[in-house]
Amino acid sequence: MCCDTVNRGVAYGDGKIILNQADANVVALDAKTGKELWKVQNGDAKKGETMTAAPMVVKDKVLVGISGGEFGVQGRLTAYNLADGKMAWNAYSVGPDDQILVDPNKTTEMGKPIGKDSSVKTWQGDQWKTGGGTTWGWYSYDPQLNLVYYGTGNPSTWNPVQRPGDNKWSMTIFARDPDTGMAKWVYQMTPHDEWDYDGVNEMILADIPVRGQPTKALVHFDRNGFGYTLNRETGQLLVAEKYDPAVNWATKVSMETGRPEVVKQYSTGASGEDTNTQNICPAALGSKDQQPSAFSPKTGIFYVPTNQVCMDYEPFKVSYTAGQPYVGATLTMYPPKGKDNLGNFIAWDAGQGKIVWSNAEPFSVWSGALATAGDIVFYGTLEGYLKAVDAQTGKELYRFKTPSGIIGNVMTYVHNGKQQIAVLSGIGGWAGIGMAAGLTKETDGLGGVGAYKALSNYTQLGGVLTVFSLPD
């Protein structure tokens, strides 16, 4: 499995716990007894198809994704009937129209029909069959519009020279009807991705003013460093601005075409195979990766944990073999030039595309954010601090040192009439692989897989649940 043996959670519906397994099986358990009620095979692990995303229950269906973009998997989102596990529909990210469940005349991008063969004509030959675009992230649902929203991951391979074209619909936001699976609209954020900027980060649905107009918005902080605000009903792009000033691979996103204006100096494909393109910001782990942001309806502000990391990127030729890694690039990651901090925790105005305030952190902020009605925002740090800050100003109000670095999501609930705040500390995945591998010397830098230099000077491995009770 790529990027650690990860499981991002379970779902509940109709008295059932739905579990995605690493071997690509989906299992429904009786929530009271644990008895297996049904089990379906959603992929072939021998081809590198695994499952790391949490399932999502929408009405009478359970939606599940697939992981394995680094193994040449053809990404997809699949719906199973919650009652018996029978497949309801299967929507691929890349491929022929009938496989990706689009209507060439009705499915739109930027307000215009996508047209016939919108995906396959942007791939060379049959490359779409191993084209990636996996769906290992998160899904959102608007019951009023009856639309499900999610993002697709990087195209395969990481070597852009081997896959000319826009590689649609990898790196794309999809809006689908959960009853039929048909796509209403799409928006591709990073055509012909050259940097592994997976587009799977969470889609936040919020009714906010955008440029002064009340809007049913979808807000998405992509790994590519741009914060996007779209009309979630029509898919119209409203805002696309950098939420990390260090981003340099593109100057801006055109509001007419929706395409980023790429800087040739940082184009890994333009440099060619076996050529090391240097100082690309952000690195492949993105200005924000899996760590979810939060929205406060009271302040109207989004709170975003971010990475501030750049990279050198060298693509090389790779051949596809089923079940084997299909990557085709080596990376080296490090802080932006002239910067000592590897992360920021920011407040973002999605209606204007502007940073409201920003708190610098020595390491990337890998925890999820939590905004509360008390105008307090919580997040965790890789050194292990749980921090509480003022939602309006970002001023730190409280910190507590947990036993290990925090990449988990801060949560809140009420128990015996008291509000509790809880967080699971413990480092894994990209954030902790350096510690797990014993990379602690300054010369190790961030390494090729995201190791943080000397992080062991600040924290340790090991998982601990810490719970706080808020005073009356």
Phi, psi angle pair for 45, to nearest 5°: -65, -25
Diameter over CA atoms, the chain: 64
Give the β-pairing of 36-41 and 25-30.
Answer: antiparallel
Catalytic residue among 97, 166, 193, 196: 196
140: β partners:
149
211: tokens are 């440029």
333: tokens are 């990651």
Q: Is 84 exposed, middle or buried (0-12, 13-18, 19+ CB in 10 A)?
A: exposed
Angle at alpha carbon of residue 136, lines to 84 and 109, rounded to 5°? 100
29: tokens are 């358990």
Q: 26 and 36 in contact (C-beta within 8 Å)?
A: no
177 included as an active-site residue? no
Q: 79 and 89 in contact (C-beta within 8 Å)?
A: yes
How far is residue 224's CA from residue 247's CA, in Å, rounded to a whole number? 8
How far is residue 448's CA from residue 441's CA, in Å, rounded to a whole number? 14
Classified as helix, coil or strand, 38 is strand
Long-range pairs, 218-222, Cβ under 8 A, ≥24: 218/140, 218/149, 218/173, 219/295, 219/302, 219/350, 220/151, 220/173, 220/189, 221/287, 221/288, 221/293, 221/302, 221/304, 221/348, 222/151, 222/189, 222/190, 222/197, 222/286, 222/287, 222/288
27: tokens are 């299992």
The residues that are catalytic are 196
